[in-house]
Structure formats: structure tokens, C-alpha cells
């Protein structure tokens, strides 16, 4: 109703076309508001006009927002040429907080966020991850280090889940992607994005699996009426192939959603819709009202589609629970009557005693009825046992207690239950090579001999006519190799950002037997004199950030937190990087403070630590 009123108010406004003279007399802000209003009212042509007028009145540095609005309006105008005409079976309004539980999916499969995969959570729309029991591949939405939601995937490898990775480049935008859902055959993935080609808010997209490239294809906007200028998300096709279902806030407030149930159409016919009124009517997705089209077996999860014996068992469970509730309430009423006797007058006591005796005579019959129902339930369980049928009483009880919505419309929405807390054994990310200077029991060559940009100092240990062996390094790490102009092999240790730091390590290298060790300097990978490097260094400021990847994948230990407080007053920020939780602290401009903090963290058992450096002249 809210959006219908909103649209009606702006239909009139959108029809008042401005002349070029009138446009010149209004502010760019007013033009942008008008453009947005027309777009939300499905009047994309007028939205384009207002955005273009706003851009003309703004300079290039201030027109970005208007250009973004123009792009959305043009996208909407283009998508009017490719509109589907689905048959709508039902639609029902639900609270945003748990609307997904009313989808006909497997029970106990929605896992609340924050959780192990989506550790930050906290989004208005993205509130759970769908992970059915027995699944071997998970697709989910989680925030990256910049707070943007991307789609990640992890799969089961023997007993461990793989390190989560981004799904691919084509399905990753500069804004959020949420609710990735596989098709029943696993060959398509549906998701919502507000960063890909769309007309505003979250639009719905589908990507198909490409067997030749062994990857997901470029996603395609599903177009009208699935996508709209509002938020549209969580699209699924039911496993029986009868229905397509998605949610949207196009006709309700932001604290609610409407779930739309459509007849599944494997080959939708698309046609152009040029009339705005027709487009709005299409976007409303009103049900056809033909109950013969409805199959309510598809409206409940697999656990709800049971044979007659299971249904009989669930009915008896409901009866036992109802009788137990009745006995409990009856007992509480008796206690209330008894407690009332103490302060009652003689006349009141007589009346209360009569009521008490009457109800006490009724209680045995109620208990007998309960005992009979319990015995009947136990007999059904014994029959199951005799016939080798294994039942999960907890799941069946939850199924029996489900909330049912929409029965009066002919299509029944049955509410599932949340699944248990998520516990996945995830393979630890492969540790990256540590390029900090170290003296080890056995020396190590650097994995990559390319020097980073900026000023770098190294300690040259020797030059050979042959390639060096690990034994030649005498425990030094990391050792870099470069070929001299004469074709010999020069070996240097360390990556030092300051002359002070390299000088402090020079004697350590000489004491390992390399008496002729000397300092070399580089700028952006090119050899320069040490004197020149020191001149450049005096003009450079280096900042350090420390990243900590927790062992349990979620939080730091109390000892680690205490070490951070003791050695630093910098803020600690929790984020996500490549699907893994990371804690970042800094910046520091003193390398010795960084080294002391890293040493303190390692002393309390924190191993997965990385240091990033940024320099500016």
C-alpha cells in the first residue's frame, strides 16, 4: 500500500514535462530527486530526462550521482523491451527478520548470521545462510575487508572444507551481492546484486555453469517483473519443478517483504511493454486466483511430505502436546482455587470448595485421555521400530509445530525452523612466505626474487660462479639471487626499508661467517648507491599495519587481546579478507614497536601474523 501511494503521487509529477527554459530555473538537487521519484514509479523515460538535465547543470566533479541515476534509468528503459509474463499463484507479506523460513526448502537448513562463514553479519536484508545437511558445496554472501558483500564458495575435501574463495570476477561487483541459491540441478545459480547492470536496489540475476570453462558464466539480469527499482532477492525454483519463488519490498515497508509464488516456466516468452500502467500492473504480480493451479505439497519442505504413517504419528504428537498443555493449565487453575481458600470468607469458601471438587473430579478423566494418547504414540513408535523405520522425533515435533500462513488464499506457507549453530572444519590458508630477516637451523631462498618498489637495502653475502645451495646460506633467510652483468650469481639477504635497520643486522650476518658482507641499496628494483638511498630515505615516511588471522577463524584469545593492549594503543578492527576473519591494528611508524608487538603475540601462541608497509615521500 505504501508504495502504491508513493507511485500514485509521482505519476502526476512525472507527467508534468519541463520545458528547457523551466529546467534551467530549477536546482540540480531538485532534478535528481525528480529523476529518482520517476524511476521508482517505473517512469524511466522521464527519469532519463531529469537526470540528463541535472548533469547539464553540474560540473564534471559534482555530476557523479546524477550520472549513476541516469544509468539506472536507462537500464530500466532498456529492460522494458524484455518483460516476462509469469503466472502468479500467490503472494504473502512477512516480517523481514525471518521471511526465508517460509520458503519450501529443507527444514533446519537456514543458519543465522553472524556465523563462522559470515562473521560480521549485521545486514538488514542478508540475515542467514542456506546450508542443508549433507551438502558438499556452500555458496554464501560475506563482507570483505571494505565491508562490501561478495559471494564466496567452499567445498568439502575429505573431512575439511576448502579455504573460502570468491566465486569469480563476473559475479563480483563494487557493491553488495546476497542470497546465492543453486538451482535443483546445480547448473544455475541465482543471486541478488545492487552493483551489476540493474535499475536500482537489489536486482535478481542468474548465472549458468559452463562445462567448457569449468566456471560460472557472466550473470544475466532476470528483468521485469522479477527485478524492479526496489529490492528483489532470494530467488529459488522448487525441487519438484512447479514453482519459482522470490521476495521483494516493492509493495511494502522496509521492515517487511512480500514473497511471490509463480508457476515455473523453463522457457519464458519475453515481450516489450511500453505502457507505464501495464508495466506497473505487471510488477504488482497479482495472483490469478485459480486454486486448481495450486499444489500445496510444493509449499512445504521435503520433511513435510511424508507418508500416511508419518502424518498419523505427527497428528498424535500434536494431540499429546495439546493434552499435556491442558493438564498443566488445569493443575494451575486448581492451585489458584486452593490458594484462594486461605483468605476467603465462609460464604466464599463454600463456593470455592464446590468448584474445587468439581474440577478435581474432572482431572482423572483428563489424565486418562493423556495416558491413552501417550500409549497410542508409543505403539506407533514400536511399529516403526518393528518395520525398520528410523524417525527423528525432534524434527517431526518441529514439523508438527510449524506455523502455517496463507491457507485462506489456497497456497500454504509453512514455517521452517533454523538449523543448529554452524561448525565447519575449514582448512587453514597456506601460510605465505615470510620475508622478514631470520636466522634459522636451515637457510631459505626467497620464493620470489623480485624486489618491491621503493627504497630497499640488502646485505650481500657472496657472489659465486655457480648457483648456491641451501648449505651455503648458513641459516640465513630470506636469501635473494640476482645475476650480475658478468653472468655470476650474487646473493643477498633481507628486505630492509631503512639504513638503520640494515645496519643493525650487518654484524649478525658477518658473525654467521660472511666476513665480507656489505650493504647494497635499490630504488624501485634498480641498483643505486647507499648514499643516494639514504638521501631518498630521509624524504620518505613508512607506516606499518599488523594483520592477525585468529586460529579458530573467528576471535582472538584473551592472552592475545592483553598483549595488544599492553604494547599498543591503536584501534583493533575486525574485518574479512578472502572469506577469512582478520584483525587489523595500526598504523605504526616505528618498526621496533611493530617487532615488539609481533614478538608479544607470538609468545602467547599467535602464529598467523602479517605486516604490511606503505611508504610516501
Tens-place pLDDT, residues 570-615: 888 877 776 677 889 988 888 888 888 998 998 888 888 888 877 6
Residues sharing a CB contact under 8 Å with residue 153, sequence separation 6 or more, in sequence order: 137, 138, 139, 140, 164, 165, 167
pLDDT at 462 over 90: yes
- Rounded to whole angstroms, what are the CA distances from 315 to 30, 214, 375, 396, 404? 61, 48, 14, 10, 15
Beta-bridge mates of residue 366: none
**Could you tell me the pTM of the whole model?**
0.62
Inter-residue contact 196 to 176 (CB < 8 Å) = no
173 φψ region: left (φ > 0), alpha (ψ -120 to 50), beta (else)? beta
- In the chain the first and final C-alpha atoms are separated, in Å, by 59
What is the phi/psi pair of residue 458, to 5°?
Answer: -135, 165
Cis check for the bond before 114: say yes or no (omega within 30 of 0): yes
Give the per-residue pLDDT at 391. 64
Give 527's pLDDT tier (boundaries 50, 70, 90). Answer: very high
**Kind and range of the H or E element at 65?**
helix 64-79
Buried b (16+ CB within 10 A) or exposed e, 403-437: eebbeebbbbbbbbbebeebeeebeeeeeeeebeb
Cβ neighbours of residue 405 under 8 Å, at least 6 residues apart? 92, 94, 102, 412, 413, 414, 415
Residue 17 has pLDDT above 50, yes or no: no
Lowest mean pLDDT, pick from 175-184, 409-418, 486-495, 555-564: 409-418
Q: Is the pLDDT of residue 396 over 90?
A: no
Residue 18 pLDDT more than 50? Answer: no
Spatial CB neighbours of 558, under 8 Å, sequence gap ≥ 6: none
CB of 276 closer than 8 Å to CB of 43: yes
Work out the average pLDDT over 27-52. 94
**Beta bridge pairs of residue 438:** 477
Three-class DSSP category at 169: coil
pLDDT of residue 16: 46
Is the pLDDT at 395 greater than 70, yes or no? no
**DSSP secondary-structure letter at 431?**
P
Lowest mean pLDDT among 120-124, 146-150, 449-453: 120-124
* The pLDDT of residue 208 is above 90: yes
Q: What is the average pLDDT value for the chain, to the nearest integer?
A: 85
Q: Residue range 56-74: average pLDDT?
A: 86
Highest-pLDDT range among 163-167, 285-289, 401-405 = 163-167
At residue 21, does pLDDT exceed 50? Answer: no
Q: What percent of the residues of the chain are helix, what percent strand, and what percent coil, each to the nearest 5?
A: 35, 25, 40
pLDDT reading at 306 higher than 70? no
CB-CB neighbours of 61 under 10 Å: 6
pLDDT of residue 138: 96
Looking at residue 314, its pLDDT comes to 72
pLDDT tens sequence across 192-205: 999 999 999 999 99
Backbone angles phi, psi at 611, to 5 degrees: -120, 130
Instruction: Average the pLDDT over 349-361 and give the result.
Output: 82
**Which residues fall within 8 angstroms of residue 372, CB to CB, at 6 or more apart?**
none
More confident residue, 429 or 118: 118
Rounded-to-integer distance, Cα 99 and Cα 112, Å? 13
What integer pLDDT is reported at residue 304 of this predicted model?
Answer: 45
Residues constituting the chain: 617
Highest mean pLDDT among 44-48, 121-125, 209-213, 383-387: 44-48
Give the pLDDT band of residue 616 (cuts 50, 70, 90): low
Q: Would you state the torsion angle of the CA atoms of residues 80, 81, 85, 88, taken in this order, to the nearest 10 degrees? A: -20
Burial of 364 (0-12, 13-18, 19+ CB in 10 A): exposed
Is 392:346 a contact under the CB 8 Å cutoff?
no
CA 408 – CA 46 distance, rounded (Å): 41
CB atoms within 10 A of CB 339: 9
Q: How many CB atoms lie within 10 A of CB 197?
A: 16
What integer pLDDT is reported at residue 137 of this predicted model? 95
The dihedrals phi and psi of 483, each to the nearest 5 degrees, come to -95, 130
The number of C-alpha atoms within 13 Å of 241 and in the hemisphere containing its C-beta is: 3
Nearest-angstrom CA–CA distance, 232 and 575? 27
Which pLDDT value is given to residue 266?
A: 83
CB distance 322 to 314 below 8 Å? no
> What confidence score (pLDDT) does residue 188 get?
95
Identify the burial level of 307 via C-beta atoms within 10 angstroms of its C-beta, where 0-12 means exposed, 13-18 middle and 19 or more buried. Answer: exposed
Amino acid at each position: 500500500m505504501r508504495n502504491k501511494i508513493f507511485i500514485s503521487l509521482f505519476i502526476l509529477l512525472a507527467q508534468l514535462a519541463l520545458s528547457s527554459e523551466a529546467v534551467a530555473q530549477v536546482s540540480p538537487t531538485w532534478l535528481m530527486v525528480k529523476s529518482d521519484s520517476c524511476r521508482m514509479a517505473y517512469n524511466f523515460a522521464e527519469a532519463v530526462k531529469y537526470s540528463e538535465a541535472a548533469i547539464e547543470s553540474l560540473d564534471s566533479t559534482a555530476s557523479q550521482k546524477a550520472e549513476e541515476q541516469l544509468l539506472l534509468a536507462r537500464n530500466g528503459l532498456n529492460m522494458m523491451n524484455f518483460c516476462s509474463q509469469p503466472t502468479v499463484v500467490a503472494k504473502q507479506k512477512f516480517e523481514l527478520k525471518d521471511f526465508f523460513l517460509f520458503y519450501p526448502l529443507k527444514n533446519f537448513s537456514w543458519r543465522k548470521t553472524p556465523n563462522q562463514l559470515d562473521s560480521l553479519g549485521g545486514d538488514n536484508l542478508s540475515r542467514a545462510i542456506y546450508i542443508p545437511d549433507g551438502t558438499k558445496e556452500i555458496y554464501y554472501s560475506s563482507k570483505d575487508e571494505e565491508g562490501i558483500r561478495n559471494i564466496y564458495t567452499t567445498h568439502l575435501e575429505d573431512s575439511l572444507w576448502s579455504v573460502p574463495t570468491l566465486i569469480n570476477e563476473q559475479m563480483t561487483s563494487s557493491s553488495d551481492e546476497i542470497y546465492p541459491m543453486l538451482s535443483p540441478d546445480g547448473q544455475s545459480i541465482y543471486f541478488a546484486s545492487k552493483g551489476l547492470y540493474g535499475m536500482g536496489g537489489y536486482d535478481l540475476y542468474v548465472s549458468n555453469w559452463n562445462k567448457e570453462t569449468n566456471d560460472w558464466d557472466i550473470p544475466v539480469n532476470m528483468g521485469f517483473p522479477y527485478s524492479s527499482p526496489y529490492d528483489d532477492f532470494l530467488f529459488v525454483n522448487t525441487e519438484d519443478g512447479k514453482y519459482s519463488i522470490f521476495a521483494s519490498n516493492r509493495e511494502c515497508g522496509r521492515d517487511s517483504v512480500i514473497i511471490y509464488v509463480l508457476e515455473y516456466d523453463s522457457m519464458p516468452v519475453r515481450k516489450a511493454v511500453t505502457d507505464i500502467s501495464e508495466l506497473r500492473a505487471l510488477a504488482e504480480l497479482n495472483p490469478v486466483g485459480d486454486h486448481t493451479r495450486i499444489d500445496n505439497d510444493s509449499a512445504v519442505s521435503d520433511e513435510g511430505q511424508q507418508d500416511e504413517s508419518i502424518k498419523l504419528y505427527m497428528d498424535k504428537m500434536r494431540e499429546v502436546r495439546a493434552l499435556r498443555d491442558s493438564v498443566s493449565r488445569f493443575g494451575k487453575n486448581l492451585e489458584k482455587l486452593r490458594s484462594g481458600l486461605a483468605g476467603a470468607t465462609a460464604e466464599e469458601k463454600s463456593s470455592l470448595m464446590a468448584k474445587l471438587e468439581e474440577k478435581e473430579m474432572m482431572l482423572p478423566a483428563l489424565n486418562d485421555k493423556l495416558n491413552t494418547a501417550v500409549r497410542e504414540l508409543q505403539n506407533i513408535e514400536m511399529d516403526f521400530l518393528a518395520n525398520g523405520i528410523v524417525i527423528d522425533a525432534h524434527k517431526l515435533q518441529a514439523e508438527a509445530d510449524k506455523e502455517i500462513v496463507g491457507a485462506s488464499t489456497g497456497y500454504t506457507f509453512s514455517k521452517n525452523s533454523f538449523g543448529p549453530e554452524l561448525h565447519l572444519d575449514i582448512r587453514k590458508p597456506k601460510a605465505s612466505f615470510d620475508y622478514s630477516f631470520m636466522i634459522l637451523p636451515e637457510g631459505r631462498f626467497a620464493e620470489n626474487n623480485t624486489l618491491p618498489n621503493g627504497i630497499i637495502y640488502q646485505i650481500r653475502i657472496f657472489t659465486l660462479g655457480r648457483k648456491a645451495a641451501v648449505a651455503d646460506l648458513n641459516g640465513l633467510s630470506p636469501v635473494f639471487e640476482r645475476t650480475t652483468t658478468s653472468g655470476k650469481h650474487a646473493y643477498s639477504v633481507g628486505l630492509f626499508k631503512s639504513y638503520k635497520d640494515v645496519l643493525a643486522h650487518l654484524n649478525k650476518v658477518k658473525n654467521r661467517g660472511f666476513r665480507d658482507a656489505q650493504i647494497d641499496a635499490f630504488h624501485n628494483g634498480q641498483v643505486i648507491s647507499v648514499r643516494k638511498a639514504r638521501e631518498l630515505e630521509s624524504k620518505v615516511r613508512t607506516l606499518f599495519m599488523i594483520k592477525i588471522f585468529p586460529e579458530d577463524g573467528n576471535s582472538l584469545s584473551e592472552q592475545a587481546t592483553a598483549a595488544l593492549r599492553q604494547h599498543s594503543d591503536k584501534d583493533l578492527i575486525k574485518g574479512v579478507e578472502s572469506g577469512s576473519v582478520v584483525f587489523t591494528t595500526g598504523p605504526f611508524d616505528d618498526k621496533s614497536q611493530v617487532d615488539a608487538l609481533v614478538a608479544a603475540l607470538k609468545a602467547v601462541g599467535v602464529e598467523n601474523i602479517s605486516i604490511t608497509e606503505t611508504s610516501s615521500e
